Structure 1
């Protein structure tokens, strides 16, 4: 029974902190006069680092294969052929949920610290970010009863519908915006423990509202979400809903090379990072066509030029590796990206194109293109916006404008968890070439399976989830994608 109960902690994320460095955390942070809680300032930094490291790890393994950033040269590894083994789910589920415990405790700690509105707002934003990744990956997931083992002895949480999760996430982001508007500062020593914004309430507020727009756009195809109206309200009221104003305000966890504040790839051998893959023809050829300077920081040259390899190659027909990730990317601070200013501009461009918000889609698009280059340290070359494949043509059909927006957005979200894949599932952009070796009837997977142990240890709620959402396979579409 003890083993079974412990398994529920892991797989249902009922509140146990798995990391060895936190095993005695509750004893350290026990208040003899009140209920036990964690000091929020001690949780922000380590939890953010771990969350981004997990995202980097599986972005390299899963997202970048599916979205043709790179292609494996190991014939038996078939993610690029749309074959995803169920075991791929375990790592994300078993790492994202424990980090959610910490994000919830940041909020609870803020409540205990004389209702510190800044910590409360930060906790709500991080929880919204975390659960959005979970539900966009799996669909219906444990939410309202998840991470409650420590407080409510719930070890078999129900699965909430994705629609309900999203509606509650929006409430949390509204609350966070209100809390952070109070502008409560924290002690200077505590502020430095937040490696993202040093607990600056103004910057956290901008991050929360920019995240709000990302998620509203994701569900904008569902009339019941009423997302377009809310997007218009946010954009039309910048004093009430401030957003990122420049690249410096982007949510990027800029890793160093000094542990523990390091990238997930810091300890990788070069081979582990780039030795068994090559950059795809799709990824390389667009950059070459545009003469995009970012290629010099992302890709190696082969015989003096940049060359890619085809994704979805037939079984046994392994191509010879050409250009590959530069090893310097292992410790590149910009690979700690969560949500950046250029992505926000492309969100606004699509929203304007579809009439959700006022403003010029072209202006937002061109600002996004410029900012994306600036983010990587490059000034926009002369006539760059007039180049074939980049130039905005007002007379183009909406499909072609969407392709331009999302192709630029694709490169802007380089190594940003699973955002490329999530956006492709929502829009079908950018249009990816289909190789001859694709499986799964050539269909891009729509989600990951639930972990096998969850199916066993939380069987009743798992079965209920499958009944309400659809079969537990990679082709079942999540709510916002139906």
Structure 2
């Protein structure tokens, strides 16, 4: 009897197999689990991950002489004009962050919203973001996977072909033009987007300001296309104020990678260059007080304490290039310092803090590009007014980044009175201000330096350089590409030039 009772439930289940299977389904499905991820969340992830990696401190910042480390090893790069490769080497920082995170997210968003009329604005916002992100990538490396990018995630294409930078720029211009025009405030907006909260007017201004940047990038290689692109951007409507800035607001959960690097293992290793500090000091630029901090008398990293912190512009001393950790101590002594830890740094408690915002495209940069476009006769308006607006906007932007770094209005007025626009020196003056306005945006400062030739930087005199020229022209491809995509990488380097720091990207025409 006991045995019969044991089998009764099983027999009943076999007789009514469909009902039993239905029960098992219910037991094995989480009723609270999400069945699909809202693409707006994915898009926010793409934007958050667009902040610049700490590796920009190894290459881009030293190349344009913002700040550098005298230490070698993992920090070797632009400070010594040498390459620094490896599976996760500093040369791969932008590549890894943008392809691994930004590209796969944004391509996924586009695939899920392309045919959904209710998500038209999100689709076009993603197109703009993709175009911006690929400008950073191609400006850094040259020819890169573009048309096939992200398809490893969606379609299993793990060996994407490399596209020429010329074709990439042509498509970026098309995408920015079409997507910016297609944004429509009358259609459903994406109020949860972390950049503008669904404000379509600001998204449009961001798209057209990025288009302006793309057009100006081509001044040396294709002036006609540069001019027509700039004019399309202006006609569409570019940024009108700092409120339009494309800025990622970081926090304790989503930290600024550059700030994170400067406040952890490398806190005592990075210093503002003498060229940058001297430029600001010589011109009595009030931004020096907002940017720099010196731990006066520090003989070690441990002695860089709050009690020694001095932000007075008069005491700031930048570290000269051309030295390593073996030779910089003697130079510090010659400069009258207690040690090399006594040189000026980016203030890690303000603009260099771990939750510092990351500015991608700004009103200040946009106004300065318009000033250059006006010099070239491509747009109407007063060059001097564009110039003054750009300088003013960046000084005001510092206060937005951190209230303690705000530049007083009177100081801005005084600076512009002492440093008015001089037409005879127009392009140099505009692009030198663009350099300052791009501080902490290493990739953009590096790109515009190559395009414009300004500021006039004295080549880094470090004796152990690997480059043949005076400055690094591009970043080398990550070593991982050789392991997983060698055939397409070889095709690209055969076409573009050797995979080294001397090869120029397409738009960087001599």
Please show how residues 149-228 of structure 1 align to structure 2 within 5 Å.
149-186=152-189, 191-192=191-192, 194-223=193-222, 226-228=225-227
Asked if the contact 2:472/2:502 (under 8 Å) is kept, the reply is yes
Matched, 1:111 2:119: no
Of 447, 450, 466, the residue aligned with 1:422 is 447
Matched, 1:323 2:316: no
Q: Which moved more, 1:269-278 or 1:467-476?
A: 269-278
Give the distance between the partners of 1:345 and 1:332, measured in 2 at CA.
29
Give the distance between the partners of 2:355 and 2:260, measured in 1 at CA.
15
Of 391, 406, 422, the residue aligned with 1:393 is 422
Matched, 1:366 2:388: yes
Unaligned segments of structure 2, at least 5 residues: 1-32, 297-309, 332-339, 400-406
Which residue pairs with 1:72 in the alignment?
Answer: 69
Q: Which moved more, 1:81-90 or 1:126-135?
A: 81-90
Number of residue pairs matched by the alignment:
431
After superposition, the C-alpha distances for 1:316-372 in whole angstroms (9 at most, x for unaligned) are: 421424111212133376641011100001111111112222222222111111111
- TM-score (normalised: structure 1): 0.83
Of 307, 312, 321, the residue aligned with 1:311 is 321
Give the distance between the partners of 1:451 and 1:203, measured in 2 at CA.
35
Which residue pairs with 2:23 in the alignment?
Answer: none
Find the residue that maps to 2:371 and give its secondary structure.
helix
Of 90, 93, 96, the residue aligned with 1:91 is 93
Q: Structure 1's 348 and 262: CA in aligned 2 closer, same or farther, altered over 3 A?
A: same
- TM-score (normalised: structure 2): 0.79
Q: CA deviation at 1:107?
A: 2.1
Q: CA deviation at 1:314?
A: 6.7
Give the distance between the partners of 1:293 and 1:453, measured in 2 at CA.
44
Q: CA deviation at 1:115?
A: 4.8
Which residue pairs with 1:301 in the alignment?
Answer: 294
Matched, 1:405 2:450: no
Find the residue that maps to 2:59 and give its secondary structure.
helix
After superposition, the C-alpha distances for 1:110-147 in whole angstroms (9 at most, x for unaligned) are: 22543522101111011001111111111111111221
Please show how residues 224-235 of structure 1 align to structure 2 within 5 Å.
226-235=225-234
Give the distance between the partners of 1:231 and 1:135, measured in 2 at CA.
20
Asked if the contact 1:65/1:71 (under 8 Å) is kept, the reply is yes
Unaligned segments of structure 1, at least 5 residues: 1-27, 32-37
Give the distance between the partners of 2:95 and 2:179, measured in 1 at CA.
25
Q: Structure 1's 222 and 436: CA in aligned 2 closer, same or farther, altered over 3 A?
A: closer
Which residue pairs with 2:128 in the alignment?
Answer: 125
After superposition, the C-alpha distances for 1:225-246 in whole angstroms (9 at most, x for unaligned) are: 61202312432x2xxx121100
Q: CA RMSD in A?
A: 2.3
Give the distance between the partners of 2:376 and 2:137, measured in 1 at CA.
27
Which residue pairs with 1:134 in the alignment?
Answer: 137
Give the distance between the partners of 2:264 and 2:292, measured in 1 at CA.
15
Report the structure number with the largest CA radius of gyration: 2
Find the residue that maps to 2:96 and give its secondary structure.
helix
Give the distance between the partners of 1:169 and 1:445, measured in 2 at CA.
25
Asked if the contact 1:247/1:341 (under 8 Å) is kept, the reply is yes
Which residue pairs with 2:43 in the alignment?
Answer: 44
Give the distance between the partners of 1:78 and 1:109, measured in 2 at CA.
40
Give the distance between the partners of 1:104 and 1:254, measured in 2 at CA.
23
Asked if the contact 1:139/1:479 (under 8 Å) is kept, the reply is yes
After superposition, the C-alpha distances for 1:235-274 in whole angstroms (9 at most, x for unaligned) are: 2x2xxx12110011111112233x1x33225655735353
Which residue pairs with 1:474 in the alignment?
Answer: 501
Please show how residues 437-456 of structure 1 align to structure 2 within 5 Å.
437-438=462-463, 439=465, 440-456=467-483
Give the distance between the partners of 1:341 and 1:313, measured in 2 at CA.
36
Q: Structure 1's 151 and 233: CA in aligned 2 closer, same or farther, altered over 3 A?
A: closer
After superposition, the C-alpha distances for 1:179-221 in whole angstroms (9 at most, x for unaligned) are: 21354233xxx623x2111122211111011000001100122
Which residue pairs with 2:375 in the alignment?
Answer: 353
Of 265, 280, 283, the residue aligned with 1:287 is 280
Give the distance between the partners of 1:138 and 1:254, measured in 2 at CA.
27
